[in-house]
Structure 1
Amino acid sequence: MASSLEDSVQLRIFKIIVIGDSNVGKTCLTFRFCGGEFLGGSEATIGVDFREKTVEIEGEKIKVQVWDTAGQERFRHSLVEHYYRNVHGVVFVYDVTKLSSFHNLRTWLQECEGHAVPALVPRVLVGNKCDLRGQEQVPPGLALSFANTHKMLLFETSAKDPSEAQMVDSIFMSLACRLKAQKSLPYRGPGGPQSSGGKGAVGGSRSVCPC
């Protein structure tokens, strides 16, 4: 009987999109968070994919829906409008070993603005592939300055390194915690929740969930 009651409860759904250049590790980050594993030998995402994970925050079960998209324009053009629709949070990802992926973050910010993602939708910045020590091209100070300018939390991590699993969780949980605090956020069903806004957070690298 209790199980039936639980099944009838509508979970709030937080739609979080993950954007950035191709091959920065967006899919690997979503796999690490949703499945607890590293997706070795993954190919480039074609179009849009999403994964879900149910989490509990302050006694409430919430479904975090993570949308992963192709970094190449030819795969994204026809789907991008649907991708940005009713988004609650944004994860910007760059490769710490590829400076161009960091510089291209401005293009991704412009795309968000072009698809009317409200400035108050919380967002975080993620420098991935920190396991490739000695190959870094993006200084942490540069990344932190960019994050502060755009009112983002900054995380530096590795989807590949199992010891970084908790840090990867913190990326998505930091957004979920902020969204949970927005009490007016209603249930809208898969892919259709409507953002109620909220202030972006500023933080240093190696941030953790504020819950």
Structure 2
Amino acid sequence: MGSSGQSGGFDLSFKILLIGDSGVGKSSLLVSFISSSAEDLAPTIGVDFKIKLLTVGGKRLKLTIWDTAGQEKFRTLTSSYYRNVQGIILVYDVTRKETFANLSNVWAKEVELYSTSQNCVKMLVGNKVDKDSEKAVSSEEGIALAKELGCLFLECSAKTRENVEQCFEKLALKD
């Protein structure tokens, strides 16, 4: 999954897109991964992106991670960001069943419609597992949907950083 970039001090470069409903924690996942801190963030307006360089499996990787707005009014903006993307992370909030349902009803359809890359790796991520007592979507439901959509699957918490790095590394290694 990725393009070579020997001249830039890295072996592979990846464009990754974060999608999902507003408030599921896409920006928090990204901030937690980039800066090792988790904070409550205001909703993204339009699109934001961050770059992270890391070494995984002996390879130097450059990840350009695009964080999209989940609100419907920004959807038309996001379609162009699907072009040439090598990884898509579909995020839902494990405490909000409707955000999980929208992965099938809205987001997976959008991926099919706009993604131009044949080898694009997709990952389903259930965020906010630190709120275990409020969990509304079981791990089994997540695994089943990931299989149905042909995605990798992981549950994580941007707040506690549980599985956050694994989320991005697992996606990048799936080349």
Q: Same fold (TM over 0.5)?
A: yes
Q: Which residue of 1 aligns with 2:92?
A: 94
- Structure 1 position 152 matched with structure 2 position 151: yes
C-alpha separation in 1, matches of 2:126 and 2:7:
39
1:38-117 equivalence runs, <5 A: 38-40=38-40, 42-77=41-76, 79-106=77-104, 107-117=106-116
Equivalenced residue count is 168
Alignment-mate amino acid for residue 36 of structure 2: G
| Cα deviation code 1:138-193 (max 9, x no counterpart) | 1211111111122222111110014x1xx1101100111123xxxxxxxxxxxxxx
Q: Which has the higher strand share?
A: 2
Query: What is the CA-CA distance between 1:120 and the residue it aligns to?
Result: 3.6
C-alpha separation in 2, matches of 1:169 and 1:88:
18
Alignment-mate amino acid for residue 56 of structure 2: I
Q: Which has the higher helix share?
A: 2
Q: Which residue of 2 aligns with 1:196?
A: none
C-alpha separation in 2, matches of 1:114 and 1:8:
34
RMSD: 1.7
Return closer, same or farther for 1:8/1:148 CA change in 2, 3 Å cut-off.
closer
C-alpha separation in 2, matches of 1:112 and 1:10:
31
Return closer, same or farther for 1:10/1:105 CA change in 2, 3 Å cut-off.
same
1:123-134 equivalence runs, <5 A: 123-134=122-133
Q: Which residue of 1 aligns with 2:23?
A: 23
**Structure 1 regions of 5+ residues with no counterpart?**
1-6, 180-211
Q: Normalized against structure 2, the TM-score is what? A: 0.89
Q: Which residue of 2 aligns with 1:178?
A: 174
C-alpha separation in 1, matches of 2:160 and 2:115:
35
Query: What is the CA-CA distance between 1:132 and the residue it aligns to?
Result: 1.1
Q: Normalized against structure 1, the TM-score is what? A: 0.74
**Structure 2 regions of 5+ residues with no counterpart?**
1-5
SS at match of 1:134: helix
C-alpha separation in 2, matches of 1:113 and 1:9:
32
| Greater C-alpha Rg | 1
Query: What is the CA-CA distance between 1:66 and the residue it aligns to?
Result: 0.8
